[in-house]
């Protein structure tokens, strides 16, 4: 196995781990949680799973950010000159930037606010609080859709 093949494999493994986890959380765990939300252990299980997955996500992001520029350079694409990038790469990296911002905001801003809101009795929540709770469900869903678009751009890029 060549060093290039190993880099591609690591890059793909990180992407699969991140995207697969997002699919699992969005399509399996979150709906299961909603159907069991009245049970006390359901919230604990969801929080524990999400917390553990956060380490997978940020580890995968670190691998992707480490391998991506090396793979770009191996193709002869300039790292800091977007005008030299093929269109699918520009789309892919733009979407990745948006998804990273969404993931960071969800983990650092929205998540802690949601934990605090859920600790309050429902009758104490304002309409703004309900908006934060709603956003907490749509940010990951939107990030998943954008991530699937990143995968599509990656497939198109691999065909060049």
Q: Indicate the number of domains in the chain.
A: 1
pTM of the entire predicted model: 0.86
Six token digits for residue 62: 């670190």
- What pLDDT shows up at residue 123? 87
Residue 94 clears pLDDT 90, i.e. is over it: yes
DSSP structure string for 26-93: IIIIHHHHHHHTTSHHHHHHHHHHHHHHHHHHHHHHHHHHHHHHHHHHHTT--SS-GGGS-HHHHHHH
SS3 category, 3? helix
Share of the chain above pLDDT 90, in %: 57
Residue of higher predicted confidence among 30 and 153: 153
Binned at pLDDT 50, 70 and 90, residue 46 comes out as confident
| In the predicted structure, residue 41 carries a pLDDT above the cut 80 | no
Mean pLDDT over 9-31 rounds to: 92
Domain of residue 38, residue span: 3-158
Per-residue pLDDT at 35 exceeds 90: no
């Amino acid at each position: 196995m060549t060093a290039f093949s190993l880099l591609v494999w690591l890059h793909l493994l990180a992407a699969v781990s991140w995207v697969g986890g997002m699919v699992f959380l969005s399509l399996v765990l979150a709906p299961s949680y909603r159907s069991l939300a009245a049970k006390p252990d359901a919230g604990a299980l969801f929080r524990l799973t999400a917390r553990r997955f956060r380490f997978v996500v940020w580890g995968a992001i670190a691998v992707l950010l480490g391998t991506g520029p090396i793979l770009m350079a191996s193709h002869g694409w300039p790292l800091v000159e977007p005008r030299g990038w093929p269109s699918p790469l520009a789309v892919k990296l733009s979407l990745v930037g948006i998804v990273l911002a969404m993931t960071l905001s969800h983990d650092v801003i929205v998540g802690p606010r949601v934990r605090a809101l859920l600790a309050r009795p429902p009758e104490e929540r304002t309409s703004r609080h309900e908006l934060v709770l709603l956003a907490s469900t749509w940010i990951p869903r939107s990030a998943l859709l954008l991530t699937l678009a990143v995968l599509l751009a990656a497939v198109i890029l691999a065909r060049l």
